[in-house]
Amino acid sequence: MGDVVAFDNDSGPLDTAAADRQLVDRDAEARVAWTLEHFPDHTILSSSFGAQSAVLLHMASSQQSDLPVVLIDTGYLFPETYRFVDELTERLRLNLKVYRPDLSPAWQEARHGRLWEQGVDGLQRYNRMNKVEPMQRALDDLRATAWLSGIRRDQSNSRAERAFVEQQSGRVKVHPILDWNDRDIFRYLKAYDLPYHPLWHEGYVSIGDVHTTRRLADGMEAEQTRFFGLKRECGLHTQV
């Protein structure tokens, strides 16, 4: 790529601020390429297979066909999401890695009740059990040192100040489409004849679990369509 990534003591942890400055003016494809170049064989891509997920799935798998794609299956995804996973996995020939919580949904409900109905504390516990812990297990199992994510600044206030390169869970996390907007997404999907999630056309702009996802209605912000408006982040993309 021509430039040198800053490391502490030439072999220590990545200087994420310096790396971020390198990626600010590059396009999304170049940000993916940078990550794959600097963390070969140890990069994973996480995907919720949500509304606009086909963009980064296509972009990253086009550069590395065997790139591990991690899906966290809570057991509560929409039926349309499971079918969308199958469709994109087959079409893009994804190296899909599905991780699930240790307890099944039925066992969780028997033991803890419906955590998502127990306020913010219940939601946090639910997300930790069903999303954060399985993701940590995936990162460990796959020996990942770098993690590609499709979050964008315009998705919520909590993401507005995020950097292109960060540290999370002891890994380097890169957000190649962080500065994209819905128009950029549309153009990419159209250019490569890729689909939106089927529920996008029914008014769902952010798609997670059945019980904590709502259609966008008049007067709502997009981030209010998740977790009853009580919170936006599930913990997978909370900077640590």
Catalytic (active-site) positions: 234
Q: How many CB atoms lie within 10 A of CB 92?
A: 18
Structure tokens at 227: 């977790």
Partnered with residue 172 across adjacent β-strands are 146, 167
Structure tokens at 87: 């469709």
Side chain identity at 188, as an amino acid letter? Y
Residue carrying structure tokens 């259609």: 215
Rounded distance between C-alpha atoms, residue 177 and residue 35, angstroms? 13
Burial of residue 112, with CB atoms counted within 10 A of its CB: 0-12 exposed, 13-18 middle, 19 or more buried: middle
Rounded distance between C-alpha atoms, residue 99 and residue 173, angstroms? 19
Structure tokens at 134: 């399985």
Spatial neighbors of 137 by CB under 8 A, at least 6 apart, are 99
Q: Is residue 122 a contact partner of residue 116, using CB atoms and an 8 Å limit?
A: yes
Structure tokens at 95: 């190296």
**The total number of residues written for the chain in this structure:** 240
Structure tokens at 37: 């170049």
